[in-house]
Structure 1
Amino acid sequence: MMSLSFFYGTDRETLQMHCRQLAMKDGRTLLIVPEQFSLSGETSFLDLQRYNTEVTSFRRFAQEIFYQTGNSGEYIPGSAKLILMEQALQKCSSKLTVYKTSTDKKGFSDTMCKTVSELKHADIAPHTLLEKKEELNGHPYLQEKLTDMALIYRYFNELSEKVGRDADDDLTRLTDLLSQQNPSINLSDTTLILYYFNGFTVQERKLLSVLNGLCTNIYIGMVTESCHRTDETKLCFWSTIRNMEAFSSMNPEYSLIQGEKKNAELPFLAEQYFTYPSRKWEDNPKNITVFSAENPYYEAEMIASEIVRLCRQDGKRYRDFTIVARSLSEYEDVLEQAFRLFDIPYFTDQKESVACHPLVTFLMSVRDIFEYKWNYESVFHYVKSIFSPLSKEQGDVLENFALAYGVFGNVWTDDKKWTDKLNRVFMDEDCGFDRTEIENARNLLVYPLTLLWDKVKGGQTYCYQAENLFLFLESIQMYEKLTEKTELFFQNGEQQLSEEYRQLWNILLHVLDQVVNLAGEDKGTFSKFMDLLEEGFSASSVGSVPKSLDSVTITSADRFVGEGVKCLFVIGVNEGEFPASGEQYGLLDGTERDILEAFGLEMANGRQKSAYMEQEIIYKVISLAQEKIIFTYRKADMDQTAKAPSQIIGRLRELFPNLSEITCLPLVSSPGFTFSKMVESPSAYKQALEWFEAHPQWKLRLQMLERDGNRQRVTLSSETINQLYRNELKVSVSRLERFKRCPFSFHATYHLKAKERRQYQLGAPDTGSFLHDILERCACLIDQSASLSWQTITREECGILVDRIVEETVSQWFGGLLISSPRYFYLTARLKRLLSKNLYAISLHFKNGLFRPLGYELEFSDKGDFPPVTLRISDGKTVKLTGKIDRADVYRTPDGSWIRIIDYKSGPKELHLNDVYYGLNLQLITYLDAMCQEDEPAGVFYFNVTDPYTRTETALDGTELIDALRKNYKMKGLVLANNAILRAMDENCDGGSDLIPAYVKKNNEPGGSIATKEEFQLLRKQVKSCLKQLSAEIRQGKADVLPIKTKREYSCTYCPYSSVCGYENNTGQCKSFTDLTKEEIMNRLEDGEND
């Protein structure tokens, strides 16, 4: 007699034993398991083959029947289904209402595919949706949704039927076939056993209803403590029992299978977790533990450390451990890092989608280059890919060039624009790039892509576009690159990555074939063609096998099988994560699903079903461990966002009052982990240090660690110094100032040549260079002009002169940046006005004084206007100091000549005697000293090139406004305390000056920022001493990470090397300087005291 029987219980081991006993009976037995458990099921029941038992799944069972009856056919792969759905959406988009604007959105076709699959599993046809829509009065929006879904569903079915078979229809087709009582199908001597199922879809239930009349017996094993729902039914069994009750019309028999586990704590947990009121376990549980960690990375480290400990102390094997997370994506990376550190083999039980694989993103970057017209992001997404035809070095150089000189858009593809750009850039011999290298890199980038674009532009057929895309991939040797990567990963022991790359070429060809077969004659843009490819890739995945049989299994809670798990880690037990919240429902939300179920359409997940499912998952997880279970949670995310433990942790504490919670790791575990911890706290690892020193493979890392610990104190070898400077040190004064501020920064800048990426924009240094250059050119023209002079030039003439010089030179600056856009045209106009005002302000220095220009951009060097400043340092070596003065003026009298030095600054700058004394500001005094070997010093100044404004409480007329603004052009610096010199600089300086920082007081004494001749001499002597000291330290190889800190500056504030040197702002040593008064400085200098 044919019958349906349920055997149920909560002891999985006993249930499996009963399942085996049923399978050992006479006759043929089909043991049906869920699709995702088919591999593990075959492994668990391998010994039953001798009893004529076959482990299969519903889908494989259906395919076997189709083959027997001649109903087999070719199936539509997932990638093809997405392409078909995309076509269906395009065909019916104009007829849609709710989803009319969604059909072109990325991911919508995938969501719709999943919805259709769900509807088929629920045995809901398009006409069923339309029929049910008529009953839904009072829900107009849901009615419109169902109308749209039915239309899309119907179009998809029509397209699918022309291509092949949808595997989602298999069980419905099998049910229809079995209902016809086909004589070629004989199941009368077959027993069906269904195991591992938590529930069944409508499709599966209908099939089982038909099979119940054809098979000898059907046995269904379910994990539950009861077969009927009551008020006392635990939530974790609610959905399971509900599924059992759905078979009530078949009058099933029920058998309770009871058993006991050896470990009493674990069944107590499973039994009491969902029981209210519950009993408590008063003893300290030895096999249930909770780990709490500061963040996900420490959580992963704790797990790895515990696995190593249990393997050592309890003799466990890696295969005895399974790690379960509700959301595995949150932990994949940190677990991988931790397991590598502890050298633990592992296997992640999930297929990886290729949609985000570097190969796919590379192909999509080709689309983006054409779609976004060669913008920066798309071009260098392509260039930086591991599949790019450019080498990494070529890509880096080309990117630096493009960023520095604004190469984007059709400059890449238009040969004339490209050549014009190069000609402008390479007018500057110091641009830092090699023209041949840049052109070769550009050719590798552009030519394969333009060849492809010439073929596919204009809306060709998808077949033609696929052919040319394949030719493009051949031209850049894509197959060879994938093969090379596959072999490289394999040689490096990365079997999982090697296996992924091995499959990629075939997946790529398969998706291309699907597009050609399904939509080859359709026409569309290349972008649309690539969108179809992307949809195909999103449905494709790469699988892998474990590296070895002895490895830790990592899986998600919903895929978790659990057979043979001795030690289970349940990780990420945080609020909102396990149990999961915010269930994703697809096109129908939870409320709409509940409404449809109330009207007779049973969908997979409504709000209530999702809640029950989470409870089922919790029960499954806590009931599967055989010997030990460890729960872990984190207190914060990596970004320091606080995280609370889940309700699961709270329930554990209620059931086990003496439950231990571990918050720290053992100090010594695997070598890699112990070494990393020893770096953080060397004093706590003295014995471990001895062990590492005794093992050669770790000794080198210790030596590197020791050098890193002393990284603030760095000395270059004498061989390196001799290679850099040989017998003579040549260095500019500005570089010595850089050395004083931080020796490491000096060497990184001038010897390692490390510098920040130049951007195609006008930064502060670029603006300063531009202003200096224009002012110098204007000044030289004034001196050379027969019609212009500093004493007579007007504001209007300054404006005309500046305008002329800027227009003559603007195209040569920064690769034509200042003429590249309307924004920069406007900025250039502003710079012209600024320069005109400042040029006229400079002329006032000559109109109101007796000093005259001596020269502009005066250079101290072997081939410059003056010889370099030569000094002899302590080791007897010679130092040649070079530099450049923006402007030097002279005042000639019968008694001698007086020199003043002016440095133009594009930002605020003042001369502080403290900076001179400590060696932080040496240039002005050095240049003054060099030019005053026979002449007398008059002063040193900074002239701030600025566009000033002023605030007043009353309105000013034109003259008053000019007078108010003039004060903003006053130079900052130090002037000789001599009334004659003061008046030679500003004839109107009695009582105050708008030009210089000094004046003549009413008592006829000089006042302001002044220094006597003797004080200037002391400063000159101090500066020479600093120059010698700094030069000697460079010769000695000093390269310390030693920034300076004063009241006005801190070396690290704008330093580009802070991420390189590793200097810690809070704990690192720095050199601090205390401000002194002028009197204190001069007293120290008179007493011979140097810094």
Structure 2
Amino acid sequence: MSLRFIIGRAGTGKTQYCLENIRLALEKEPMGSPIIFLVPEQATFQMEYALAHNYGLGGIIRAQVLSFRRLAWRVLQETGGAARVPIGELGKRMVLRRLLDHHRGELRVFARSADRPGFADALARSIGEMKIYRVGPGDLALAAEKTDETPGLLNAKLQDLALIYREFDAFLAGCYTDPDDYLTLLAEKLDGSSTLEGAEVWVDGFTGFTPQEHYVIEKILGKAERVHVTLCLEPKDTGRELQEQDLFYPTWETFREITDRAQKTGVKIEPPVLLDAAIPFRFQNSDSLAHLERCYFRHPTETAGAGEGIELAAAVNRRAEVEAVARKIVYLCREQNYRWRDIGILLRDLGPYRDLIADVFQDYDIPFFMDCKRNMLHHPLVELIRSAVETVIKDWSYEPLFRCLKTDLLPVSREDTDLLENYVLAHGIRGYARWASGPWHYLRQFTLGEDAEPAPEEKAELAAVNRGRLQVVSSLGLFTENLRQAGNIAEITAAVYTLLEDLHVPEILHKWAQEAESAGRLEQAREHLQVWGGITSLFDEMVEAIGEESVSLEDYLAVLEAGLESLRLGLIPPGLDQVVVGTMDRTRSANTRALFILGANEGALPARQADDGIFNDSERERLAEAGVVLAAGGRRKAFDEQYLIYMALTRASEKLWLSFPLADEEGRALTPSPVIRRIKELFPGLNETFYQVDKLPDGTAGGLEYFIHPQRVLADLAVQLRELKAGRAIDPVWWDVYNWFNGSADGRGRLAKVLRGVFHTNTEKRISPEVSRALYGQPLKASVSRIEKFKACPFAHFAGYGLRLKERLLFRLAAPDMGEFFHAALKLFNDRLAERGVDWAQLSREDCGDLATQVVEELAPQLQSEILLSTARYRYLTGKLKRSVNRAAAVLAEHARRSIFRPVGVELSFGAGGELPPVTVELAGGGTLHLVGRIDRLDVARTEEADYLRVIDYKSSDNRLSLAEIYYGLRLQLLTYLHVALTHSARLVGRPGLPGAVLYFTVKEPVIRSAGPMSPDQVEKEIMKKLKMQGFLLGDPEVVRMMDNRIETGYSELFPVAINREGNFYATSSVASLEQFTALRCYLEQVFAETGGEILNGVVAVNPYKYKNISACVFCPFKPVCQFDLLLAENRYRALSHLDDNEVWARLLRKGDQ
């Protein structure tokens, strides 16, 4: 038995020495005594590949590449101990949470922290650290006795930790194995194992060892025939004492510890192999890298010129940094004969760069392997489990249920899922009972008791919805019942596992893996294959650790999500020729010719140290004094960071790139690392390159480096062509790029897409009159609101009425629903009065309240699938509706008491099937427009001289009638309704009528604000002011008094008019003369004729209006379709000039004269 060290600085060929000697031994005796090559876990694959491939061995029987953990597994399988169930990280945390809760009364410090998020994790890490450093509960108890007199919390922490640690070991005893105990078990079992009998052991790639690993090495020394240990150490340092701040102190300490253990066990120590060439083997082709390795930590500084092979780069942000690296990698592989596998990327912290590197490298078609554990929260299987349990907890509410359906792991197609989602959102379906109770039916948004037969396409869609519903119930119904009956964690987990088996999830994952592999997505394929094992292991841990614990489904979900969040899958590289991306403390990449170190910023390189355990640095020092040695504290870790930096800087054999961003994603300034400053000191002639995201390549030598990848250059070409389109000159090299793409069929196709984008104008061409007439039909049937929509924006009209695009219906009360309800309520209110023969003027406040309650309760079930009865919130809203209808009725009753106007029609429809015929307008280009609609309320005041007609339109929010908006065609309804009424007045009232008024009436319960108390009469007066009708009245004081008999002079409480002592109207009064009403009617017909003609002539322009601060785009649902963008020169608002009333009247009267 003997021990031999192989000593050398970085790059001197220690690993090559091991591999070469193993190869020679295998060639000499292929079936000889065992050879064990012991390396870090993450390096096992690389070393196996190196032995089998690089050295031409083909196959290996005698030699094995193992990690400590894998060696432990081999020995425990042989000697016993491997059969016990291993407890994973989640299992540990769950057991520790239970122990903390059970012993809460005995804990001095931990009781206050037991329920704090993350405390169980910190406790699990601390116990794991104790085991790795071979510290038991008894050692902690002894340390507690020694620190009893010291100030602070250390003594209490030690007592609490000793208690929980002891109880945790008692829980594991005889049933489970903590993976943190594997190496201790390995050391204890090695004496009874034949695995290392006569073996030659090579240990390589370690900076240092934990006490647990040192214990194993001690046992290996006493068992193996010969042990070789490589250490990255200055050869001359083996014979002298080093200090903590020295670069090689970590490996020197390892050298000393192993030497002491060998001497203690009587193992012969052979003379070390000292690899101390003047220029290390790795840097034979790079004087600069050799100088960097030799002098980085040497003082005084020895400079070495320009640093050939070393590049420093600053970037405006991380994206610019990664883009620059991607371009450089492609350049190396294309122009300098590098293979992807010759290139490595290292970071101190992969987090900020992980997704960015993946996105950019995919854009550049760079194959890469991310050397890190994968979080699996994004995987559909994980989402299925979380959402399925949450679906039962929330009784099949929309959000978790459709998250579950969209995993594609249920037998419901995406199309059926979309149909189901639309139906559920529109009808407010919630609860398992609603899903399972029977077929769903087609329900219109608001029927007012009028059942309508669904159209054939609606029937077909409903059939598909019900098919999907049955599939969902069949898939999740039994699971719901099982979960509701389950009482503990084991039963709940069994129900979840049964669901996955019933859904054939393993078979689906296998199919997905095959599809991903066929498409070349090898990492994704392996994720699909591994996630099932990870999930089942998680379930096993939960059942084994706390399976008998009774919990609610909510608590179970919290435990489950904690486990799923901690689920990490490790993947081996799916291909051999890839760029390896990893972290400095984990990734081991052999034969790296070019290394890129990203994120070289202060605070990141070297990394800031932070306490993440139970004990802080000062407490660790006091523990060491008490005989309990744990992992290094922050001070020692800071020194170890320098060693990590040394190892990273010396990893490449030919080229080294260091880069840093100047700002983060939020624009906060970042400063370069001290490493950058040190390299500049070593190489004063080394220049720093600056990279920007928006820099575009040009024809210069420096610019040509950007011409790397066709897809990226094509995007830059598009930018240049836009510059050319804007009249600016571009570099001639871009015409070469253009011609290059145009020189191949594939390139021409890609170029054509770019050209279409660059020279696209966001305008819509007219559709032909023939197509327009076929699309809209003849005669053209339109409501007034449709005409207003066209006048607001022709494209919005085309999208809504031509393409028939609709917003997704949602189960909620929007403003249009409220308006529809108020219309129906006031119509029904009026009908009930007519049935009883009661005039509006006869109604008392109590009558209004009683009848409003009856009306609202009668209509509530008919609104949007009984939405007003669905929740407490909507039931409260029903009460508000009653108060609003009551208030509206009371105001209308007050109007009736002061007026001789009485309803002659309510919800009076005109058009096909209505009480009145449509408004027919002949169009100039041929064709006819039929205007259809419904008048909310039409009143008449009969006198001997004439009958005056008044139109009232109910609104749920405040509205004012603007003459300018009428002139521009944006507000035509009220005037159109008056026009219809006057046109058919003989039919309605028995003789031709005259205009009385057009008015908006707001149906609401207004809020009255007051600085102090108000009497009931004052409140009522203020309410009447708030609900004053708005619009235009006939400019005849007598007609106005027919509407408000209390106004002789002064302001009306009911209308926006005021009369002076001379009997004339104030200038602020909203009145119009008979001539003006006539001019308005004539103008309406012109607007209808012009608009109808434009519709049938195919006008579909994206041409939204803007008037004052209001535009057609504000509430338009079609913005994603038209893509109106003010940044485009062709997209501008149709600005409507401000017109005062006098100017509008003047224009209308001139048009009337024409």
TM-score (norm 1): 0.89
Alignment match, 1:267: 290
Q: Is the 8 A contact 2:861 2:868 kept in 1?
A: yes
**Structure 1: stretches of 5+ with no match in the other structure:** none
Alignment match, 2:590: 563
Alignment match, 2:1076: 1015
Compared with structure 1, are the counterparts of its residues 213 and 992 closer, same or farther at alpha carbon in structure 2 (3 Å cutoff)?
closer
Q: Distance in 2 between matches of 1:587 and 1:673?
A: 50
1:976 aligns with 2:1034: yes
Structure 1 residue 909: deviation in Å?
1.3
SS in structure 2 at match of 1:227: helix
Structure 1 residue 239: deviation in Å?
3.0
Q: Is the 8 A contact 1:591 1:607 kept in 2?
A: no
Q: CA offsets per residue over residues 120-158 of structure 1, 9 Å max, x none?
A: 221222322223232222366444444444444444444
Q: Distance in 1 between matches of 2:193 and 2:543?
A: 40
Q: Distance in 2 between matches of 1:277 and 1:918?
A: 83
> Which of 499, 502, 507 is the aligned partner of 1:472?
499
Compared with structure 1, are the counterparts of its residues 1053 and 586 closer, same or farther at alpha carbon in structure 2 (3 Å cutoff)?
farther
Q: CA offsets per residue over residues 79-134 of structure 1, 9 Å max, x none?
A: 65643663565367412525558778887666555444332221222322223232
SS in structure 2 at match of 1:835: helix
Alignment match, 1:58: 68
Alignment match, 1:871: 921
Alignment match, 2:642: 615
Q: Is the 8 A contact 2:410 2:475 kept in 1?
A: no
Q: Is the 8 A contact 1:859 1:885 kept in 2?
A: yes
Q: Is the 8 A contact 1:239 1:609 kept in 2?
A: no
Alignment match, 1:1078: 1141
Share of identical aligned residues, percent? 28
> Which of 1056, 1060, 1078 is the aligned partner of 1:997?
1056
What one-letter code is carried by the residue in structure 1 that aligns with 2:415?
E
Q: CA offsets per residue over residues 655-685 of structure 1, 9 Å max, x none?
A: 4554222313553331222233344453355
Q: Distance in 2 between matches of 1:693 and 1:896?
A: 80
Alignment match, 2:365: 343
1:86 aligns with 2:125: no
What is the correspondence of 1:170-189 to structure 2 with a 5 Å cutoff?
Answer: 170-177=182-189
Q: CA offsets per residue over residues 253-273 of structure 1, 9 Å max, x none?
A: 664623422223333344444
1:288 aligns with 2:311: yes
What one-letter code is carried by the residue in structure 2 that aligns with 1:824?
Y
Q: CA offsets per residue over residues 438-474 of structure 1, 9 Å max, x none?
A: 5444433344434234345444576665555444333
> Which of 772, 778, 794 is the aligned partner of 1:721?
772
Compared with structure 1, are the counterparts of its residues 184 and 1070 closer, same or farther at alpha carbon in structure 2 (3 Å cutoff)?
closer
Alignment match, 1:780: 831
Comparing 320-329 with 234-243, greater Cα deviation is found at: 234-243
Structure 1 residue 290: deviation in Å?
1.0
Q: Is the 8 A contact 2:79 2:193 kept in 1?
A: no
Q: Distance in 1 between matches of 2:299 and 2:932?
A: 87
What one-letter code is carried by the residue in structure 2 that aligns with 1:289?
L
Alignment match, 2:998: 940
Q: CA offsets per residue over residues 905-953 of structure 1, 9 Å max, x none?
A: 2112111122112222222222223333354333322222243355566
> Which of 124, 144, 147 is the aligned partner of 1:136?
147
Q: Is the 8 A contact 1:342 1:670 kept in 2?
A: yes
What one-letter code is carried by the residue in structure 1 that aligns with 2:1062?
N
Q: Distance in 2 between matches of 1:183 and 1:76?
A: 18
Alignment match, 2:29: none
Compared with structure 1, are the counterparts of its residues 488 and 193 closer, same or farther at alpha carbon in structure 2 (3 Å cutoff)?
closer
Q: Is the 8 A contact 1:565 1:624 kept in 2?
A: yes
Compared with structure 1, are the counterparts of its residues 1030 and 388 closer, same or farther at alpha carbon in structure 2 (3 Å cutoff)?
farther
> Which of 95, 111, 116 is the aligned partner of 2:103?
95
Q: Distance in 2 between matches of 1:959 and 1:56?
A: 93
Compared with structure 1, are the counterparts of its residues 353 and 1019 closer, same or farther at alpha carbon in structure 2 (3 Å cutoff)?
same
Q: Distance in 1 between matches of 2:237 and 2:229?
A: 12
Q: Distance in 1 between matches of 2:544 and 2:443?
A: 46
Comparing 440-449 with 693-702, greater Cα deviation is found at: 693-702
Q: Is the 8 A contact 2:9 2:233 kept in 1?
A: yes
1:661 aligns with 2:719: no
Q: Distance in 1 between matches of 2:402 and 2:113?
A: 30
Q: Is the 8 A contact 2:90 2:541 kept in 1?
A: no
Q: Distance in 1 between matches of 2:186 and 2:242?
A: 38
Alignment match, 2:41: 35
Q: Distance in 2 between matches of 1:644 and 1:903?
A: 66
Alignment match, 2:955: 905
**Structure 2: stretches of 5+ with no match in the other structure:** 26-31, 264-268, 698-706, 724-729, 984-991
TM-score (norm 2): 0.84
SS in structure 2 at match of 1:632: strand
What is the correspondence of 1:799-838 to structure 2 with a 5 Å cutoff?
Answer: 799-838=849-888
Structure 1 residue 1036: deviation in Å?
3.8
Structure 1 residue 1075: deviation in Å?
0.1
Compared with structure 1, are the counterparts of its residues 400 and 285 closer, same or farther at alpha carbon in structure 2 (3 Å cutoff)?
same
Q: Distance in 2 between matches of 1:1060 and 1:424?
A: 25
Q: Distance in 2 between matches of 1:950 and 1:980?
A: 32
SS in structure 1 at match of 2:315: strand
1:325 aligns with 2:340: no
Structure 1 residue 713: deviation in Å?
0.6
Structure 1 residue 359: deviation in Å?
0.7
Q: CA offsets per residue over residues 13-39 of structure 1, 9 Å max, x none?
A: 444455456657879764422222122
Alignment match, 1:852: 902
Q: Distance in 2 between matches of 1:469 and 1:535?
A: 16
Q: Distance in 1 between matches of 2:91 and 2:1010?
A: 71
Q: Is the 8 A contact 1:327 1:556 kept in 2?
A: yes
Compared with structure 1, are the counterparts of its residues 696 and 906 closer, same or farther at alpha carbon in structure 2 (3 Å cutoff)?
farther
1:390 aligns with 2:396: no
Structure 1 residue 623: deviation in Å?
1.5
1:126 aligns with 2:137: yes
Q: Distance in 2 between matches of 1:553 and 1:1089?
A: 81
Q: Distance in 2 between matches of 1:490 and 1:388?
A: 22
Compared with structure 1, are the counterparts of its residues 425 and 303 closer, same or farther at alpha carbon in structure 2 (3 Å cutoff)?
farther
Structure 1 residue 1076: deviation in Å?
1.7
1:207 aligns with 2:216: yes
Q: Is the 8 A contact 1:738 1:746 kept in 2?
A: yes
Task: Tell me the C-alpha RMSD between the 2 structures.
Answer: 4.0
Structure 1 residue 323: deviation in Å?
1.9
What is the correspondence of 1:216-235 to structure 2 with a 5 Å cutoff?
Answer: 218-225=227-234, 227=237
SS in structure 2 at match of 1:814: coil
Compared with structure 1, are the counterparts of its residues 789 and 183 closer, same or farther at alpha carbon in structure 2 (3 Å cutoff)?
closer
Structure 1 residue 974: deviation in Å?
2.3
SS in structure 2 at match of 1:278: coil
What one-letter code is carried by the residue in structure 2 that aligns with 1:938?
G
Q: CA offsets per residue over residues 700-726 of structure 1, 9 Å max, x none?
A: 565555665646312364476355213
Q: Is the 8 A contact 2:144 2:155 kept in 1?
A: yes
Q: Is the 8 A contact 1:421 1:815 kept in 2?
A: no
Structure 1 residue 407: deviation in Å?
3.4
Structure 1 residue 801: deviation in Å?
1.8
Q: Is the 8 A contact 1:92 1:155 kept in 2?
A: no
Q: CA offsets per residue over residues 269-293 of structure 1, 9 Å max, x none?
A: 4444444553455537553131414
Compared with structure 1, are the counterparts of its residues 454 and 796 closer, same or farther at alpha carbon in structure 2 (3 Å cutoff)?
closer
Q: Distance in 1 between matches of 2:573 and 2:1055?
A: 80
Compared with structure 1, are the counterparts of its residues 103 and 382 closer, same or farther at alpha carbon in structure 2 (3 Å cutoff)?
farther
SS in structure 2 at match of 1:266: helix
Alignment match, 1:117: 128
SS in structure 2 at match of 1:791: helix
SS in structure 1 at match of 2:786: helix
Compared with structure 1, are the counterparts of its residues 99 and 1054 closer, same or farther at alpha carbon in structure 2 (3 Å cutoff)?
farther
Alignment match, 2:79: 71
Q: CA offsets per residue over residues 809-856 of structure 1, 9 Å max, x none?
A: 223323333333444333332332232222222233333333332312
What is the correspondence of 1:1047-1066 to structure 2 with a 5 Å cutoff?
Answer: 1047-1065=1108-1126
Structure 1 residue 863: deviation in Å?
1.3
Alignment match, 2:819: 768
Structure 1 residue 202: deviation in Å?
0.8
- In the alignment of these two chains, the number of paired residues is 1081
